[in-house]
Amino acid sequence: MVKVRLNQDKNFVEEFKKTLSSNDGYCPCRIEKTEDTKCMCAEFRKMIVNGVVGECHCGLYYTERIE
């Protein structure tokens, strides 16, 4: 099982959230604006469901294994 965490760099998170807001919630790292690229993107949601440890494409979130 994994737990979702927010990036620990508070400045990065603050700036990234501003960018997300100005991009209607779509990941600014992606060109297409679809439901799959809305933050949390489909790619990261699949990682959570599958219990994969790692970070999302843009680095805002990451997962860590919990026991």
What is the Cα–Cα distance from 53 to 1, expressed in whole angstroms?
9
Q: 0.85 exceeded by the pTM?
A: yes
Side by side, the strands of the sheet bearing 2-6 are 2-6, 61-65, 54-55
Distance of alpha carbon 23 from its chain centroid, rounded? 14
What's the chain's average pLDDT? 95
pLDDT tens figures, 19-46 = 999 999 999 988 999 999 999 999 999 9
Q: Is the Cα torsion angle 42, 54, 47, 12 positive or negative in sign?
A: negative
